[in-house]
Chains A and B, each alone.
Chain A
Amino acid sequence: MSLQNIMENWSNYRRGAEEGGHHKYEHRWGMAINLDLCIGCNACSTACYAENNLAVVGKSRFAKGQAMHWLRVERYWDESQNKSSSVTPDYPEEGASFLPMMCQQCNSATCEPVCPVAATYHTPDGLNAQVYNRCIGSRYCSNNCPYRNRYFNFFSYYESSWPEPLNLQLNPDLTVRDKGVMEKCTFCVQRIRAAKDKAKMADRKVQDGEFTTACAQACPTGAIVFGDRLDETSKVAKLWQQHEVKLGVYKQHKQNPEKRGYRIFEELNVDPSVMYLERVRDTGI
């Protein structure tokens, strides 16, 4: 696995997901995000900050685009209905829709093959791993990510991010990243690891709903559903099936408007593990 896998399967490494890839999967963690339920409250983002030791970079660095939000809530605005005014305000009063955007854990990820040191690779769990202590900070992965979901530590943010006694809130289950390291959403791999350890101690498989990611846990409307897509009885697998979203497909041919599922940038054939359910609109915009 891991580095050995990359070395041995290099020629197959970019074999498209439509051909089944080349990985032997234990799990395939995935998500389904119902945009109709998303109210844009940013609880998911806040939960992510708390769970994953995300540094707070401050206003000026945020403006420069150095924010370390692994999960950001993107805002989109409907086109103004009022055609008489030619000027659209920056923040219209209505028509906002939200989209929680985190690492899509692509199954044929663009970030993986460009890493010169194999710090990012595909795990048998279907995740894009990011090994911090291996990362040399070349930032190729970030530049190759179509979603812009990788965040680079340009400074030692930890020095100012958690002044005493806030350092006590740090999660010991994952590293506090230092300068020069790339980081991104891991689907709360520390929780996955803990659940798998617990399951293995009891000689059983991980159950659906046994644990969830911090964002899904914090979502007040339950818009985010997390689970194992290999487990056909899981909530997330059922949602994928219900909305006819399949892995390894880079173009959806769906006529039925009831099937709202889509994956972002599916046409790039990166095979993301996150499915979004389109917002239902009554106005027909």
Chain B
Amino acid sequence: MEIAVNQYRVDYQRRGEIVRRLALAIMFVVAASLPVVGWSAAADPIPPVGTYDGIDVEQPIEFPHNVHVDVNKINCMYCHTYARRSKVAGIPPTSKCMGCHKIIATDKPRIQKLTEYWQKKQSPPWKKVHDLPDFVHFTHERHLKRFVFDRDYPVEDVKDICAFCHGQIKDMTVAHKVKPLNMGWCKSCHEANGGPGDCWKCHK
């Protein structure tokens, strides 16, 4: 009986040592991986995969994104200014359009149409192209923080980040849906970049 007890003690001591060594090893591994984790948080994002050919949405004015973004190099967030501070990117108010177009390109038929709306004190009835179902919570600000501001990405190149979900808007006139914006597609990016995986983070 006594021998058995002693045996147990020896075993117990040895186990304690193993546990201590393991703990040290784990601590070392964790410490070594910390900078890696820190680096991966700011790492280049892996864009979601998959394309989709959406239907053309007819807009009241054929707004030329390409002229604004590609030719005149205007930042997406100059007009879609709410993107960095709210859930929605926002359609700019007509006053913002008129801020430039009181002077610029006033002879173009599109601008004349815009000026008509402006004089009638109406906003052009823009239609939503990238629409998510009502049961989805998506916030632009958190995505911009993660992919632009947190990794000190040059804000003037933000269009390449927007392109993850909106495609190359700089090559389009009116926006055309080129990404599926469905759950599997969202999830592909969330999994690749360590986004939240909890159902209730996005479903409401």
Contact = CB atoms under 8 A, between A and B. Distances in A.
A133 B135 contact: yes
B37 to A, nearest CB: 17
A167 B184 CA distance: 32
Interface in A1-56: 1-4
Interface in B151-204: 196-201, 203-204
A4 B187 CA distance: 13
Given A132-B203, A133-B203, A175-B204, A197 B198 contact: no
B171 to A, nearest CB: 31
Contacts of A123: 198-200
B139 A129 contact: no
B110 interface: no
A59 B187 CA distance: 44
B101 interface: no
Nearest to A177: B135
Nearest to A189: B200
A1 B67 CA distance: 44
A2 B135 contact: no
Size category, B interface: 10 to 19
B133 interface: yes
Contacts of B145: 200-201
Contact of B204 (A4, A121, A189, A197): A189
Nearest to B199: A2
Contacts of B134: 175-176
Nearest to B134: A175
Nearest to B87: A197
A134 B199 CA distance: 10
Interface of B: 133-135, 137, 139, 141-142, 145, 196-201, 203-204
Interface of A: 1-4, 121, 123-125, 127, 129, 131-134, 173-176, 189-190, 193, 197, 200-201
Please provide the 9 A-B residue pairs with the shortest distance between their CB atoms, ordered closest to farther.
A129-B200, A2-B199, A1-B198, A133-B135, A175-B135, A131-B203, A174-B204, A131-B199, A1-B197
